Amino acid sequence: METTSSTPSSVTPPWDVFPQKTLDSIDIAVLVLYFIFVLVVGLWSMWKTQRSTVKGYFLAGGQMVWWPVGASLFASNVGSGHFIGLAGSGAASGIAATAYEWNGMFCVLVLAWLFLPIYIAAGVTTMPEYLQKRFGGKRIQIFLAILYLFIYIFTKISVDMYAGALFIQQALHWDLYIAVAGLLAITAVYTVAGGLAAVIYTDALQTLIMLIGAVTLMVFSFVEVGGLEGLQTKYFDAIPSTRKENSSCGLPREDAFHIFRDPVNSDLPWPGVLVGMTIPSLWYWCTDQVIVQRSLAAKNLSHAKGGSLMTSYLKILPLFMMVMPGMISRILFPDLVACADAEICRKICGNPSGCSDIAYPKLVIELLPVGLRGLMMSVMIAALMSSLTSIFNSASTIFTMDLWKHFRPRCSEWELMIVGRVFVLLLTVVSILWIPLVQAGQGGQLFIYIQSISSYLQPPVAMVFILGCFWKRANEKGAFWGLVIGLLLGVIRLVLDFIYPEPQCGETDLRPGVVKYMHYLYFSMVLAVISSLTVLVVSMLTEPPSEEMISRLTWFTRGDLPVKKDLAVSPSPDAAKGVCEAERPALQIDISIASENSSNDNKCTTNTKGKSKLMTTFLWLCGMERKQENAENTGPTKPEPLPMASLEEKPLVKHVLNINLLLCVCAGLFLWAYFA
C-alpha cells in the first residue's frame, strides 16, 4: 500500500522515509554549550557539598532550601518520557492524559502536609526502611526494596532512555542504542561522582531550561495552528490519507477535549480517573523513593512544603506545554503522527502499533527555526538527564541502604559509597536490555504504557503505606500478606497484558475478558480494595503491634518523644557483634566476612593507596580521597547519624504556606471542572 508522500525503497532506514530537517551547525553549537553548562553546574555542586559520607551522598546533607527541592521534584517527575508520552497521547486521543498531571498537583501536597511529618519524625533515609521500622522484621523491607528496583527499570529508566533516544534518532538519525549509550555516559559522570546534591542542583538548572524551551515551542505551535480555537476546529480534520475504509482507524476521538469520559467504553473512564488513578499517584508522590528523597533533603518541613507547592503550581503547565502541542503536531503532520496502517507506521517510525510518539520531536524539528531547535534538543536531553539522575541516585540508595546493609550489616561507610556508585552502572545495563519491550508496549502510546504498569504494581504498596501511616493497629503480618496477595494479582494481570497485547486497529480482539473488559484503572481500584481488606483482616486476627512499632511512626504518634534513640545509639561491641551475627544469613561467603570486617578499611587502603594512579583519580573524582587516607587510623567507621529535619515551623511561614495550599487546591479544582 502506497502512502501519499514519495516513498523510497524499503531498504531506507525507517526514519528517513519522509524527508525532514536535521540539526544545523548552530543547533549543534547550542547543544554543546548546554552540555558544558550542565557539567559545570554538576561539578560545582559536587565540590560544594560533602560527598564522602552516607548523609552527604544520599541526602545532600539535609541542607536544601525550598526552590531547588521544588525544581528537582518537577524535573525528576517530568522526564523525556513525559514530553514524548504526553504529546503522543495528546496526538492519539486528546487531552485526557492531562488527568495524571493534575492528579499529581494534589498528591504532592498530600506528601508535604500528611506524609512528610511522619517520615521526618521517623528519621528514615529510604521508604523500605520506614516500613521496616513501622512493622519490624526484615522481609517487608527486602521485598519492597527489590520491587522498587523492578518498578524503576520497568516504568522509569528504560522508558526515559527510549524516549530521549527516539528524540535524538528523529533529529540526528543516530542508531537508537548508540544514542542511549551516549546519553548514559554523560549522565553517569555527575550522578556517580556527586550524589544527591549534584543531582538536585543540576535538576534546578534543567527545570529552567525545560520551561524556557517548552514554552517557546508552545507559542510557535499555537501561532501556527491559529490559537486554541484553531486547535479545537482543526484537530477533528487531522485524518491520515491512507487508512482502512469503514472503520474508526486513524479518526480523532469525539471526546478528545474532555478529561471525563464514558465509564464503560472510553480509553480513560471517569470513575477510574477519579479513584483508580489516584491510588498509583499517591504511591508515586507520597511513597516513591525518588520523590520523597528530595523532600527529605530539605532543611526543614517548611522548606519541604514550599518545594511541594512550587511543584504543584508547575504541574498546571503540561497540558499547554506537552499535550496540546502533541495535538497540534497531529494537525500539521496527519500522515506521519496519526498513521493508521501497520506497514506505513513501521516505515515511518519502526513501530507498527502507531507513531503518535514522534509527535513532539517532529514538531521541534519541523517548526522551530535554526538555533531554537538546538535549544529544544537541550530541553529534551535536560528532561531525560534530570529524571535519569534522580532515579539512579534513588535506586542506588535503596540497594545500598536496604539490601547491601542487610547482607553486610558491619560494612564500612566507605564500602557503602563504592557499592552505591557501582550499582548505578549495573542498573544502566539492565535498563538498556528492557527497551525493546517498551517499544512494543501499549499501542505506541508511551505514557499509557507507563501508567498501565503502574496500575498493576503500585496500589498494594500504596495501601500498605497509607494504613501503616494512619492506622495504628496495622501489623507486620497484615502488611506482608496485603503486599504479597496484591502484587501476585498485579503481576498476573501484567503478564496477561504482555501475552495478549491490544490488537491493532481493524483486527479482531481475542483477549480474555479480564484484559478486554476491565480497564487498567478499574483493576487498580480492585487491587487496592483486595490489598486493604487483606491488611485489615490479617491485622485484626493477629497480635497488635508493640508501642515501639508505633512511636513516632504514625500520624497520631509523630510528636512522641524519641525514647528509642537511647537504646539504639551505640550498643557495646559484644552486643553489636551478637546482633550482627544473629541477623546475618548463614551463607558460606559470609563466614570470611566476620573476620575481615575489623580490618576492612585498612585492607582497602593497602590495596589501593600508592599503587594505582587510576584508582587515586577515581577516588578523587568521587570525593572519597580523604576518607581513604584516614581509613588506616580510624578503623571501622560508625554509621553517621542521619539528618533529622525539624518538624517545628515559624507561625508566619506556616500561615503563608497554608494560604498557598488553599490557592493551589482551588486552582486545581477549577482546571478539573473547566476541562472535565
Q: How far is CA 544 from CA 338, 475, 557, 635, in A?
A: 57, 6, 16, 42
- Mean pLDDT on 200-210: 82
What are the tens digits of pLDDT across the range 521-560? 999 999 999 999 999 999 999 999 998 889 999 999 988 8
Amino acid 204: pLDDT: 83
pLDDT over 90 at 512, yes or no: no
Mean pLDDT of all residues belonging to the chain: 78
For residue range 303-357, what is the model confidence (pLDDT) as tens digits? 999 999 999 999 999 999 999 999 999 999 988 888 888 788 888 877 777 788 8
Calculated CA dihedral for residues 52, 55, 58, 60, nearest 10 degrees: -90
Taking 60 as the threshold, does the pLDDT of residue 565 lie above it?
no
Q: Taking a C-beta distance cutoff of 8 angstroms, is the pair 340, 249 a contact?
A: yes
Banded pLDDT at 640 (limits 50, 70, 90): very low
Q: Please list, in sequence order, all residues whose beta carbon lies within 8 angstroms of the beta carbon of residue 599, skipping any fewer than 6 positions away.
A: 635
Query: For the chain, what is the radius of gyration of the CA atoms?
Result: 25
**What pLDDT shows up at residue 191?**
66
Sorted by where each starts, the structural domains of the chain and their CATH numbers stand as 57-246+271-558 (1.20.1730.10), 575-634 (no CATH)
Contact between 512 and 496 under an 8 Å Cβ cutoff? The reply is yes
Which of 432, 140, 149, 428 lies closest to 289, judged by CA?
149
Closest CA to 232 of 331, 88, 318, 316: 331
Residue 581 scores a pLDDT above 60: no
Highest mean pLDDT of the ranges 385-394, 458-467, 545-554: 458-467
279 contacts: CB under 8 Å, gap ≥ 6? 458, 459, 462, 463, 524, 525, 528
